[in-house]
Structure 1
Amino acid sequence: MTSNANNTTTTELPLKAGDWRLDPFHSAVGFSIRHLGISKVRGTFKEFEAGLVVGADLADSAVTATISLASIDTGNADRDAHVRSADLLDVERRPSMTFRSTEISGQGEDWIMTGDLTIGEVTRPVTLAVEFGGVVENAMDGSRHAGFEATGEIRRSDFGLKFAPGMLGDVVKISLDMEFIEP
């Protein structure tokens, strides 16, 4: 995500400037969606990439992410195959979803990140609440790691994913746990 200098005051970030590398072994992309309006189905995407570029201030900082839609895992192989089909995600036509930040604001542990989410040919704005977990040194190798939890929601219908209204909820809750390694 890249901050929009017109909407965000220049703020010094609590992170070292540079390209932070994703630690995929300590990161996760999850979601939940209502089923029949009475319960939730939860799942994850197993294949994803994310980038964090920290500038001298928010205006020079950016977050990007790409998630492979075919890597969905809800714990049920038959359901996952159906979700990948043309009825729902249609991974043949829409292999991935991407996010690119447009604005960052906040301080301390609580931040807001707004950006553009693209699924297939449809791009919509999304806002994520971001909790900054801090920066610590990894005792194993001395590298410094920063942790973030981001949560938000999207509507399936906004992206043309309208299969089974009433059976599946329109709102999809997103939960991202990301750990990055300092440059």
Structure 2
Amino acid sequence: MRHLFAAIVLLLSAAPLAAADLRIDPVRSRAEFSVRLLWVSNVSGAFEGIRGDVSIDHAAQTAVVRADIDTESIRMESARLRRWVLAPEFFDAVHYPTIHFESLPTPLMLLTHGGDVAGKLTLRGITQPVTFHLQGNRCPTESLAGCILQLQGMIDRTDFEMRGRRGALSDRVNLGMAIVLEAP
């Protein structure tokens, strides 16, 4: 029995070494989107409500990024455009108040050197695989608090049942996130 108790204590004391979490700073982080309008200009907006975390598995040398974006937090150049993108034909914020991204386990070295981050994006209640490109930064993998993860990607809005105004809007939507990490 004493050996079993010692083994449990050893496992519990080693558990914090296997995974460490960082938070996404909701004040300094942002998410943006843009979509081409009539092949001449872009409709764009910035989301002010982004939160989430990064779970780090030091044993596997991987990290998982989870981010939730409050759809209603979008800021745009005009109130009319804001009402339109929150309406059912685009984000449908009443029924789907959150956009969610979760990466697949990503090598820690990629967080500093940059590269492609695969994951899943849930938008309008539909989950699709996505790949974002992560820009490299100078943060050491041992200490990511204070680092900024900048991700850029593109989705096809029809994959998320956003089919309105197809003659006027491009199907391709650019998405970007600048995530500032902080200790919990």
TM-score tier by shorter-chain length is 0.7 to 0.9
Quick check: 163-172 or 94-103, which moved more? 94-103
The corresponding residue for 1:129 is 133
1:24 alignment partner, SS class:
coil
Deviation at 1:171, TM superposition (A): 0.6
Flag as ranges the 4+ runs of structure 1 deviating above 3 A: 57-60, 105-108
Aligned to 2:150: 149
- CA 1:20–1:79 in 2, change beyond 3 Å: closer, same or farther? same
Pairing 1:40–2:18 present: no
CA gap 1:58/1:71 in 2 versus in 1, 3 angstroms: farther
Q: How many residues align?
A: 162
Q: What corresponds to 1:174 in structure 2? A: 175
One-letter code of the match for 1:125?
Answer: P
Given the alignment, which residue of 92, 95, 98 partners 1:96?
A: 98
Larger radius of gyration: 2
> Contact 1:154–1:172 at 8 Å: present in 2 too?
yes
* Equivalent residue number for residue 14 of structure 1: none
User: Alpha-carbon deviation of 1:144?
Assistant: 4.5
TM-score where L is the length of structure 1: 0.79
The answer (yes or no) to whether the contact 2:62–2:106 under 8 Å persists in 1 is no
Shift of 1:35: 0.5
SS at match of 1:172: strand
Identity value in percent: 26
Pair 1:39–1:54, CA change in 2 (3 A): same
- Once the two structures are TM-superposed, the CA of residue 103 in structure 1 deviates from its matched residue by 4.0
RMSD: 2.3
Farther-moved stretch of structure 1 (50-59 vs 112-121): 50-59
If asked which structure has higher relative contact order (CA below 8 Å, sep 6+), I would say 1
Whole-angstrom distance in 2 between the partners of 1:154 and 1:164: 17
Higher fraction of helix: 2
Cross-structure match for 1:160:
161
Task: Tell me which moved more, 27-36 or 79-88.
Answer: 79-88
How big is each residue's C-alpha offset from its partner over 1:42-101, in whole Å with a ceiling of 9 and x where there is no partner? 211111112111111556521101111122212211110121112322111111111111
Distance 1:163 1:147 in 2: 35
- Alpha-carbon deviation of 1:23? 2.0
Distance 2:77 2:26 in 1: 20
Amino acid at match of 1:130: L
1:8-60 CA distance string (max 9 Å, x none): xxxxxxxxx61112222322111111010111122111111121111115565
Structure 1 unaligned runs (5+)?
1-16, 137-142
* Residues in 2 aligned to 1:59 and 1:121: alpha-carbon distance in whole angstroms: 31
Q: Matches of 1:170 and 1:55 in 2, distance apart?
A: 37
Structure 2 unmatched runs, 5+: 1-18
The worse-fitting range, judged by mean Cα deviation, of 18-27 and 172-181 is 18-27
